[in-house]
Amino acid sequence: MATALIILAAGQGTRMNSDLPKVLHRLAGAPLLHHAMRAAEALEPERTIIVVGHGGDAVRRAALAFDENAETVTQTEQRGTGHAVAQALLALGGFTGRVIVLFGDTPFITLETLEKLANSQADVTVLGFHTDSKPQRYGRLVVENGKLTRIVEFKDASPAEQAITLINSGVLACDAALLNELIGALGNDNASGEYYLTDIVGIAHSRGYSVVAETCAEAETLGIDSRQNLADAEKVFQARARAEALENGVTLHDPDTVYFAFDTAIGRDATIGPNVVFGPGVTVESGAEIRAFCHLEGCHISRGATVGPFARLRPGAELAEDCHVGNFVEIKNTILDEGVKVGHLTYLGDAHIGEFSNIGAGTVTCNYDGVSKHRTEIGARVFIGSDTMLVAPVTIGDGAMTASGSVITEDVPTEALALGRAPQVNKPGLARKLFEKFKADKRKRQKESE
């Protein structure tokens, strides 16, 4: 059966105390909205509708950045979750199939749970979780004779209902046509004057439709309403990511100090040192080593490469097999071919380094002229002497060499030696005379200040 997603992402999240829409706060380097969308993308939904409101333009851009086929609708007035779903159903038009309603601030729902919702044979399926903590914020799922009859909010619940341990997550699934019918039957005769999505359960049951509750682990339903929730969610995510990496054959020397992004991919037998931070878009192949205190983002590290300690790889950094990037090296938008060595204290930006070349300490590709970026092309088996400034655009031919301390402003031919520094001049005895003058000047200043 075809599946459509409705993701509710219109709330401001006042408890976040932020101008940023709640669903754009980042967890493991990605907006909360991306986590919700990523959880569901494996279902291969036919349509994905994001309901936006506060900060709608920014939320819309974020949704499209993750899935260019995502659709957004605007909930201009915040009139409750039922009203939000009604806006999405208008956009779905004549869709026939199963609709799953998710929340953009609930990042941990698994594919397995979503598949249960998508494949349920009941007319309406609500996702709940069992807990022993008796939370006072959430509604209770009232089940009678194996059927879900209604959802009661805690504040409206009797003592017996408050004791129920089956808690509503807010996530549900329903046939599109039936969902239209049930949403159309909602009223707003309540203290808030809002249309509550949860009320469709009681309506569906009263009309003879089958309504059931599916359950998942409580952690899957964790919603983010505050900075503390966000911090707690980060801990949950990192603990899971570390455990998964270890299970998949990755060595973590000090797991609690390694921080993963939501899409970090690390191959078996890779080794990760302590205090390593992965930003989004990092792939580390099997057998590579990331040493302590490195920060990586938007880069690819191939088999057998070593990085760090204290290295920074920025977006567009591509390391081929057996490359070495040492301490205090920064690389951005640069390709290192097989066997390249960049030992220390170097910046490489907008460059391509050929195989088995060696980049000396203090080398800088001067890639920005204040207006535009320019590329540096370095051939194979090139030796770049320490403290070389490569003023782009510039090309260094295969097998060439630059002398230490050179400023290279012109292309260097294959196998040539380039010297781009002023001739050294020695002045005999001048150092002694200067020191004597400096000391005399200092004594004079001290005497004048007394």
Q: Is the bond preceding 309 in cis, omega lying within 30 degrees of 0?
A: yes
Q: Are 151 and 142 in contact (CB under 8 A)?
A: yes
pLDDT at 135: 67
- Closest to 177 in 3D by CA, of 1, 50, 37: 1
Among 192-196, 320-324, 359-363, 381-385, the least confident range: 192-196
Residue 134: per-residue pLDDT? 65
Q: Give yes or no for a contact between 7 and 48, defined as CB atoms under 8 angstroms apart.
A: yes
What are the tens digits of pLDDT across the range 199-216?
Answer: 999 999 999 999 999 999
Q: Identify the pLDDT of residue 146.
A: 83
Integer Cα distance of 417 and 394 in angstroms: 15
Do the domain assignments include residue 328? Answer: yes
Please give the average per-residue pLDDT across 393-399, as a whole number. Answer: 98
Q: Which of 34, 83, 295, 344 is catalytic?
A: 344
Q: What is the rounded radius of gyration, in angstroms, for the C-alpha atoms of the chain?
A: 30
Going by DSSP bridges, is the β-strand pair 26-27/30-31 parallel, antiparallel, or unpaired?
Answer: antiparallel
Last-in-domain residue among 197, 221, 245: 221
Summarize pLDDT for 280-302 with one digit per residue, the tens: 999 999 999 999 999 999 999 99
pLDDT reading at 30 higher than 70 = yes
**pLDDT value at position 157?**
84
Is 383 inside any structural domain?
A: yes
Told to judge if 374 belongs to the known catalytic residues of this protein, a careful annotator would answer no
Of 187, 221, 255, the last residue of a domain is 221
Pick from 221, 256, 272: which residue ends a domain? 221
User: Considering its fold, how many domains does the chain have in total?
Assistant: 2
Q: At what angle do helices 199-206 and 176-184 cross, to 10 degrees?
A: 100
Q: What is the mean pLDDT of residues 117-129?
A: 95
Tens digit of each residue's pLDDT (9 = 90 or more) over 305-354? 999 999 999 999 999 999 999 999 999 999 999 999 999 999 999 999 99
Residues with Cβ within 8 Å of residue 107, at least 6 apart in sequence: 27, 32, 35, 36, 39, 222, 224, 233, 237
Same domain, 118 and 170: yes
Instruction: Specify if 200 maps to a domain.
Output: yes
Of the listed ranges 215-229, 256-270, 350-364, 371-385, the least confidently predicted one is: 215-229
| CATH number, domain with residue 103 | 3.90.550.10
Do residue 169 and residue 114 come from a single domain? yes
CA distances (Å), origin 186, targets 50, 80, 83, 196: 21, 11, 9, 7
Please tell me whether residues 286 and 340 are part of one structural domain: yes
Q: Which residues contact 396 (CB under 8 A, 6 or more apart)?
A: 376, 377, 378, 379, 382, 384, 390, 402, 408, 411, 412, 418
Residues 215 and 256 in one domain: no
Q: Is 436's pLDDT higher than 80?
A: yes
In a domain, residue 425? The reply is no
* Residue 191 reports pLDDT greater than 80: no
What is the helix (H) or strand (E) element at residue 195, kind and residue range?
A: none
**235 within a domain of the structure (yes/no):** yes
- Predicted confidence band of residue 49 (pLDDT cuts 50, 70, 90): very high
Question: How far is Cα 19 from Cα 340, in angstroms, rounded to an integer?
Answer: 45
Same domain, yes or no: 248 and 171: no
Q: Specify the pLDDT at position 136.
A: 67
Which tokens hold the place of 358?
Answer: 């060696």
Q: Are residues 176 and 295 in the same domain?
A: no
Within-domain flag for 433? no
- pLDDT band of residue 450 (cuts 50, 70, 90) is confident
Q: What pTM value is reported for the model?
A: 0.89
Residues 18 and 112 in one domain: yes
Q: Residues 237, 385: one domain?
A: yes
Does 216 share its domain with 290?
no
- pLDDT class for 28, splitting at 50, 70, 90? very high
User: Nearest CA to 385 among 356, 355, 352, 408?
Assistant: 408
State the average pLDDT for the chain.
94
CATH number of the domain residue 271 falls in: 2.160.10.10
Structural domain contains residue 90? yes
Residues 159 and 272 in one domain: no
Q: Is the peptide bond before 393 cis (omega within 30 degrees of 0)?
A: yes
136-154 confidence digits (pLDDT tens): 678 899 998 888 999 988 8
Q: Return the higher-pLDDT residue of 44 and 190.
A: 44
Q: Which of 58, 137, 63, 65 is nearest to 102 (CA)?
A: 63
264 shares a domain with 172: no
Q: Percent of the chain having pLDDT more than 70? A: 99
Residue 250 is predicted with a pLDDT of: 98
Q: Which pLDDT band holds residue 133 (cuts at 50, 70, 90)?
A: confident
Same-domain status, 346 and 274: yes
Asked if 360 contacts 378 with a C-beta cutoff of 8 angstroms, the reply is no
Tokens in use for 53?
Answer: 């409101």
Cβ(175)–Cβ(167) below 8 Å: no
For residue 323, give its domain range. Answer: 227-418
Please indicate, yes or no, if residue 436 is contained in any of the structural domains: no
The amino acid that residue 121 corresponds to is: Q
pLDDT digits (tens, 9 = 90+) for 218-238: 989 988 999 999 999 999 999
Among the listed residues 135, 103, 121, the one whose alpha carbon sits nearest the alpha carbon of residue 220: 103
pLDDT computed for residue 12 by the predictor: 78
Taking the C-alpha atoms of residue 438 and residue 440, their distance in angstroms, rounded to an integer, is 5
Q: Is the pLDDT of residue 198 over 70?
A: yes
